[in-house]
Amino acid sequence: MGDGGVGRRTFLAAMTGSGAAAVAATEPAAAGTADGGHEEEIRALIGRMTVAEKLGQLQQLSWTGATGPGGSQTAAAEQAARKGELGSVLNIIGARHSNALQRIAVEESRLGIPLVFGLDVIHGFWTTFPIPLAQAAAFDPEVARVDGEVSAKEARSQGVHWTFAPMMDVTHEPRWGRIAESCGEDPYLTAAFAAAKTRGYQGSGPDSLKAKDRVAACAKHFVAYGGAEGGRDYNTVDVSESRLRNLYLPPFKAALDAGCATVMASFNTLSGIPAHANGHTLTEILKEDWEFDGVVVSDWNGVGELLPHGFAADGADAGRIALNAGVDMEMVSTHLAEHGARLLADGRIKEERLDDAVARVLRLKHALGLFADPYVREAQAVPGPTPETRRAAREAAARSMVLLKNEGGVLPIAPGKAVAVVGPFADSRDLHGTWAGPGGEKFPPVTVLHGIRDAAGRGARVTYGVGATKAADVVVVVVGEGVKLSGEAASRSDLGLPEGQEELIRAVAATGVPFVVVLLNGRPLTVGNWVDSASAVLEAWHPGIEGGNAVADVLFGRVNPGGKLPVSFPRTVGQIPVHYNHENTGRPYDPKSPGNTFVTGYLDVDRTPQFPFGYGLSYTTFEIGEPRASVTRIGAAELKRGERLEVEVSVRNTGEVAGDEVVQLYVHDPVASLVQPVRRLRGFERVALGAGESADVRFSLGAEDLGFWTNAVDGRFVVEPGRIELFVGSSSTAGASCTIEVS
């Protein structure tokens, strides 16, 4: 067994030059803040702009590769830039290209207002990191921050100013293809990752976006996109105010508190009102309650989609509704640019609202330093991954892997064993997952077979192909989903392994040779047909550019896996939705009284998920003690005044090798004026411990952890007197508990 993996502080610190790992600073927002110091200039500039120029600032066109209604708008973009009637372009890549277009806007238009260039840099630009769902499984936001930092440096150097990330849609729907881009089913974990990724992209501090290695981030998709009925992408979301505020909104608030410069509206309706037309969420909550003064950008033709939603009568109506609801910039569709002047003349949009939207766009450009320095240094454009960025991606991938099963000590594979590698993904390059950036094409990943051969070292007996299995000591079966089954518009009604992979597993099982299944997938899968026959199962997700090496690092024990599931694995599709943060119902299933049949659940499947949220094994074992609260009582008023209570718990590595454990803290309010989930994650800490070592983990709980939002539309957060149960453990089924009293 190796050294249990490289210490977190070494690689990540080297990568980011920051010894201190996790984020600390909570400086005020960067780009979206009026105190960016350019308000006077912005007001003066708006005073000189024509209506056409103002409307132009609110227009974003796609440069290439568009598949939607906008298609490739290259020619239109150049023309509009020259007329000073364009605010932004997305999908333009390359320092030279962006400088050429920027030169047209800055040097040929009347006012010379620079363009802002956007791109989906979701988990890597050249260096493809694991998909966000994988990163969430690391239960270590530092992984996301490093991805953001590496991506920003590569992207900005190639002319990108603004990424449409992090995506922070909480979802209970593994059928939904975009679960791959999310951080899973819990708002607290998602919020921690949203804030960390934002800081990775933007840095911290008021002027951080001016740096040539940072990009503006975008909190998306606002809001509740992950609640799509049936897990069908773009589908209806009907949500109560309390669920909106307790489940879907918290990650966005965390991202904005971390200074996130922009927000993207979502395609779905929210209780009958499309998100692109929803003044309650876009204006009342986002811009008034949260005082967000950055840019709200529509999602691809989201303004135009108000027509098929049946909410706008025509393009002019769609533009009017979206602007008045709180959309500031229109991506790809051009309804505001086309109809805005008429709408203004007819008083259907107000000049004050138009100027506010323009001010937000200009503020973002100032925050990025584009007025002062609009061009990118072509000589400093980063050409590709470096050994350091590859190492960071490799470590992130290994840190994100979850050991779901390991019997008979099959893993880690001891040196000298004869290893047969089989399966459609064994030597596949389909490891980047959805939304791989430009690096996805240009820099293919290390395959699993290559990684295993490399790791097994000289003289190892690694064979490839089903024929070699009988002579092997252990078979590694590499299966999963190709990228075509994951991401946007890739929802699945069946979550089994596709294309005969289960048959392959059955054939390997029939040989009687112990085997390990490595899963490369972008969502939870139903594994019940074969999981009992495998000795070990490693969830490796879509692991990115160093995926094959990271899988081998874990299989051969150079890294001891410490990831945990950020999303429950259902036993069957019929069980969905199945998630840990559910309500108890009036008929909960009680394992202690199996005779009681009038309870919630199904006749034909177990009530529990195949694997629960927060679950993951290790090559060592851990013991987590009983939680100890600093107080047994605390006043609701004190909590509201900012008082906090500490919860301490000890964790010990009771095995033979070093490893990481993720200690998790869950709260439950058993009696409240709004029925509460049976558990809510309100603390996690990934702890590295040598064999026999122990540590004390401390959590701090405040009002935000012990209270909840009610159904009041104007937003009321309450902390109610009564008992609160606290659970700590290594998954959402944690049993160790204590109770405190809120008085």
Rounded to a whole number of angstroms, the minimum distance from the CB of residue 660 to ligand GLC is: 32
Residues 75, 77, 79, 82: is their CA dihedral positive or negative?
Answer: negative
Residue 559: what are its φ and ψ, rounded to 5°?
-120, 130
Measured from the CB of residue 434, what is the shortest distance to ligand GLC in angstroms? 10
Instruction: Tell me which residues touch ligand GLC (CB under 6 A).
Output: 120, 164, 220, 299-300, 488
Nearer to ligand GLC, 120 or 149 (CB): 120
* Tokens found for residue 109: 């238009």
Q: Which is nearer to ligand GLC, 120 or 685 (CB)?
A: 120
Rounded to an integer, what distance in angstroms lies between the CA atom of residue 18 and that of residue 426?
A: 36
> Which residue, 354, 555, 339, is CA-closest to 452?
555
Smaller CB separation from ligand GLC, 281 or 469:
281
188 or 300, CB closer to ligand GLC?
300
Cβ contacts of residue 604 below 8 Å, gap of 6+?
Answer: none
- The phi and psi torsions of 254 (rounded to 5 degrees) equal -65, -40
CA gap 320, 337 in Å, rounded? 11
- Nearest to 399, CA basis, from 741, 116, 144: 144
Whose tokens are 């925050």? That residue is: 367
How far apart are CB 120 and ligand GLC at their closest, in Å? 5
Q: How far apart are CA 705 and CA 258, in angstroms?
A: 19
**Minimum CB–partner distance for residue 428 and ligand GLC (Å):** 26
Instruction: List the beta bridge partners of residue 479.
Output: 519
Q: Which one of 147, 299, 328, 660 is the catalytic residue?
A: 299
Cα distance between residue 494 and residue 492, in whole Å = 5
Cβ atoms within 10 Å of 500's Cβ, excluding its own:
11
Return the SS3 of 332. Answer: coil
User: Which residue's CB is nearer to ligand GLC, number 286 or number 536?
Assistant: 286
- Shortest distance (Å) from residue 62 CB to ligand GLC: 8
**E strand map for 266-355:** 269-270, 273-274, 295-297, 330-331
Which residues touch 321 (CB under 8 Å, ≥6 apart)? 276, 277, 306, 311, 312
Q: Give the shortest CB-118-to-ligand GLC separation in angstroms.
A: 8
Nearer to ligand GLC, 92 or 651 (CB): 92
Give whichever of 53 and 120 is closer to ligand GLC, judged by the CB atom. 120
Q: Least Å distance between CB 92 and ligand GLC?
A: 12
Interhelix angle 351-367/39-48, rounded to 10 degrees, is 130
| Residue 299: CB minimum distance to ligand GLC, A | 5
Q: Which residue is nearest to ligand GLC (CB)?
A: 164
**Order of strands across the sheet with 262-265?**
218-222, 262-265, 295-297
Do the beta carbons of residue 216 and residue 148 sit within 8 Å? no
Say whether 83 sits in a helix, a strand or coil. Answer: coil
202 with 215: CB under 8 angstroms? yes
Q: Residue 708: name the closest of 694, 697, 718, 698 by CA.
A: 718
Residues 489 and 232: beta-carbon distance below 8 Å: no
- Could you tell me the smallest distance in angstroms from the CB atom of residue 468 to ligand GLC? 43
Structure token pair of residue 457: 């070292």
Minimum Å distance from CB 121 to ligand GLC?
A: 10
DSSP state of 304: G
Separation between Cα atoms, residue 278 and residue 288, nearest integer Å: 14
Instruction: Please give the single-letter amino acid code of residue 546.
Output: E
The least distance separating ligand GLC from the CB of residue 164, rounded to whole angstroms, comes to: 3
Block residue for tokens 């009610």: 710
The nearest distance, CB 64 to ligand GLC, in angstroms, is 12
Closer residue to ligand GLC, CB minimum distance, 164 or 201:
164
User: Whose structure tokens read 């490891």?
Assistant: 431
Q: Which is nearer to ligand GLC, 435 or 611 (CB)?
A: 435
3-class DSSP assignment, residue 237: strand
Rounded to 10 degrees, the C-alpha dihedral 241/247/248/249 comes to 80
Task: Rank residues 276 and 579 by Cβ distance to ligand GLC and give the closer one.
Answer: 276
Cα separation, 566 vs 298, in Å, equals 28
Known catalytic residue: 299? yes
259: left (phi over 0), alpha (psi -120 to 50) or beta: left
Q: Which is nearer to ligand GLC, 11 or 435 (CB)?
A: 435
Based on CB atoms, which residue is closest to ligand GLC, 199 or 220? Answer: 220
The residues, any chain, with a CB within 8 Å of residue 349's CB and separated by 6 or more, are 319, 320, 323, 324, 340, 343
> In whole angstroms, how far apart are CA 399 and each of 122, 279, 564, 634?
18, 41, 10, 37
Which active-site residues does the annotation give?
299
